[in-house]
Amino acid sequence: MAEKEEQFRTELIMSSFIPAHQNNEEILARIAARKAELADRLLILSHHYQQETVYQFADLTGDSLRLAREAAAIKDRQFLVFCGVHFMAEAADILAAQEQQVILPHLSAGCPMADMSSQSAVVAAWKELHQATGLPEERMVPVTYINSSAAIKSFVGEHGGASCTSSNAKRVLEWALQQGELVFFFPDQHLGRNAASFLGLPDEQVALWRRGEPLGGCTQKELQRAKVVLWDGYCEVHLRIFPDHVQQWRTRDPQAVIMVHPECRHEVVELVDLSGSTEQIVAAVEKSESGSRWVIGTELNLVERLARQHPDKTIQPLAPNCSCPTMSMIDPSSLLYVLDNLAEGRVVNQIKVPEHIAAQAKKCLDRMLAI
């Protein structure tokens, strides 16, 4: 499998090369022509964090779960081209029909946070946590953020747990606490801590599991009194936002509503007016009155797009340089590469989750949808 993916990466580098004399407008025109040519066989999906030159070609837009669910409801399109990152394409493949093929324009477009929780590391930590607490495994409930690999979702599904999104993390965590005595939440420590705080859990009942350290860097007593154990993963984009940014904007524009994504650190979320998922951020801005002022802490492409879409409102980024480097790997050249190949009868960069992993991972997703 690894050799095949490496071959795909090599093909991508070689085949997606666009001659220097072809400017961006020519590439965009070629994408539009290929999209029209593939027409009723093609569905292009784009995450909110995608750059505008790619986003403009999307048939569906949204956050990762919304895109996967809406794509799964459309059964008459053969090719689902997912302009996002790897775990999003995996989720789409898990929920798609058997005959549909999910394609990621650039195979190196991954999620650093998702990569922070490998299946082998989580399995080892699960066993260590079980031994340290003395709890039977059936009283331990794993919860994984949707920003995780299919292999992680499979582990969670197999052990009776559920996935969550940034919009429903509080509900899923509440459900998990009702199912057992201890919740193991991964990979995003900040989303987990913010959800636990919202539910009123005291700090001493929330422990941080540090990767690579015996007992996750905790004492046995700390783990035994914990209700929630958080994996020490994080989003590198949202970790660029600090309390100082909030305080500076309070001084600069006291009338502005400050809203951040719950992947931000807890001390940031405590200072702002609102926190919410990408979909909730979009909805809040859309429903606000003309003339309202917003300062938003999340990925820059979304903030800038909202500013363009709502010229009657003032919308500013909370912090500079909040761009996702892996999402940006999907650019017009890589999108054109996969569309050119599809038009010529070749499927490249297909994301296919093995059936035994997909079956358990779907349980993880289905439990979330049922909560």
Residue 325 CB partners (closer than 8 Å, separation 6+) = none
Does 70 share its domain with 170?
A: no
Three-state SS at 292: coil
| Number of separate domains in the chain | 3
**Structural domain containing residue 248:** 242-317
Alpha carbon separation from 92 to 22, 29, 261 (Å, rounded): 33, 27, 23
Among 272, 290, 317, identify where a domain stops: 317
Three-state SS at 103: strand
Query: Sheet containing 228-231: which strands, arranged edge to edge?
Result: 162-164, 140-145, 182-186, 228-231, 206-209
Does 334 share its domain with 301?
A: no
Does 161 share its domain with 265?
A: no
Q: What is the pLDDT of residue 23?
A: 73
In DSSP terms, 183 is beta-bridged to 141, 228
Residue 175 falls within a domain, yes or no? Answer: yes
For residue 289, give the DSSP letter.
P
Residue 124 falls within a domain, yes or no? Answer: yes
Q: What is the pLDDT of residue 44?
A: 97
Residue 371 falls within a domain, yes or no? Answer: no
Q: What is the pLDDT of residue 70?
A: 87
Distance of CA 62 to the CA centre of its chain: 11
Q: Which CATH number does the domain housing residue 79 bear? A: 3.40.50.10800
Question: CA torsion sign, 126 to 129 to 135 to 141?
Answer: negative
Does 210 share its domain with 172?
A: yes
Report the C-alpha gap between 137 and 118 in whole angstroms. Answer: 20
Residue 369 falls within a domain, yes or no? Answer: no
Does 299 share its domain with 332?
A: no
Does 87 share its domain with 160?
A: no
Q: What is the pLDDT of residue 66?
A: 85
Does 221 share its domain with 291?
A: no
Residue 341 falls within a domain, yes or no? Answer: yes
Residue 167 falls within a domain, yes or no? Answer: yes
Count the neighbouring beta carbons within 10 Å of the beta carbon of residue 257: 16
Does 118 share its domain with 105?
A: no
Does 126 share its domain with 228?
A: yes
Instruction: Average pLDDT across each block of 10 residues of the chain; the chain has 371 residues. List them in order.
Output: 44 41 83 97 96 96 86 91 96 93 97 96 97 96 97 98 95 97 98 98 97 96 98 97 98 97 98 96 98 98 97 97 94 97 97 97 93 86
Residue 75 falls within a domain, yes or no? Answer: yes
Q: Which CATH number does the domain housing residue 154 bear? A: 3.40.50
Does 285 share its domain with 176?
A: no
Phi, psi of 54 (to 5 degrees): -95, -45
Does 294 share its domain with 335?
A: no
Does 101 share its domain with 130?
A: no
Q: What is the pLDDT of residue 17?
A: 42
Does residue 266 contact residue 230 with C-beta atoms inside 8 Å?
no
Count the neighbouring beta carbons within 10 Å of the beta carbon of residue 220: 12
Distance of CA 92 to the CA centre of its chain: 12
Among 213, 235, 257, identify where a domain stops: 235
Report the C-alpha gap between 53 and 72 in whole angstroms. Answer: 25
Q: What is the pLDDT of residue 22?
A: 54
Element (H, E) at 79: strand 79-83
Q: What is the pLDDT of residue 151?
A: 97
Among 188, 219, 235, identify where a domain stops: 235
Residue 366 falls within a domain, yes or no? Answer: no
